[in-house]
Amino acid sequence: DAKTTQPTSMDCAEGRAANLPCNHSTISGNEYVYWYRQIHSQGPQYIIHGLKNNETNEMASLIITEDRKSSTLILPHATLRDTAVYYCIVRVRGNYQLIWGAGTKLIIKP
Amino acid sequence: DTEVTQTPKHLVMGMTNKKSLKCEQHMGHRAMYWYKQKAKKPPELMFVYSYEKLSINESVPSRFSPECPNSSLLNLHLHALQPEDSALYLCASSQDPAGVRTGELFFGEGSRLTVL
């Protein structure tokens, strides 16, 4: 199974775009990239996922490189409530198992 | 209703106690999951139920016993636990049991378990 690598922590100013990188250099063709976040003392929350095309929803954008070896989650206008641990995850299509990265602790500063 | 509800939120138990964690969802989801999360670590999958049948047991010790009484409820029975079992236990559900389509999981807020 592919593994993911993320920076341990990042800071971002409130109102700016937060760009969270993830490396998944061993990803295979049938593995999706998922992002979840976990706000302190809460359960993880789904953000977005993609296979090879860039994706956007009301929460974030996901940019996947053409070779699929890395991706970036973009929170376009970060707020203090976006302070959380963000997990980059790989999942094989049709498989229950999520391969979780160690997570990036994102701190949004006023 | 897009919630997964877990009770209790906090549980303290001795090593000889028997207790249960409960999870409920009313989204019509057909897959339900138990995860264990230690501090500063990502969640680890324990069990998966698909259409009320146990489909995955990730080599979890028998002191943890899952039960799925119906499509909305999931229990985790605890007996003779060890202090190292202290963790946050997360329940999740998903619409698509095979994970073929979105695979999006909805998580509850967790039950924080302390074993003395």
B32-56 residue pLDDT tens: 999 999 999 999 999 999 999 998 8
Q: Which residues of A touch B (CB under 8 A)?
A: 32, 34, 36, 41-46, 49, 87, 91, 93-98, 100-103
H-run or E-run covering A107: strand A104-109
Percent of chain B with pLDDT over 90: 78
Least confident range from B48-62, B66-80, B86-100: namely B86-100
In angstroms, the Cα distances linking B37 to A41, B32, B83, B97, B110 are 11, 16, 14, 22, 9
Structure tokens at B10: 């906090």
Tens-place pLDDT, residues A52-96: 989 999 999 999 999 999 999 999 999 999 999 999 999 877 777
Q: What is the mean pLDDT of chain B?
A: 92
Phi then psi for residue B84, to 5 deg, are -70, -10
pLDDT of residue B103: 67
Mark yes or no for CB contact A96/B56 under 8 Å. Answer: yes
Mean per-residue pLDDT over chain A, rounded? 93
CB neighbour list of residue A103: distance below 8 Å, 6 or more residues apart: A6, A38, A85, A86, A87, A88, B42
How close B114 comes to chain A (CA, Å)?
15
Confidence at B76, pLDDT banded by 50, 70, 90:
very high
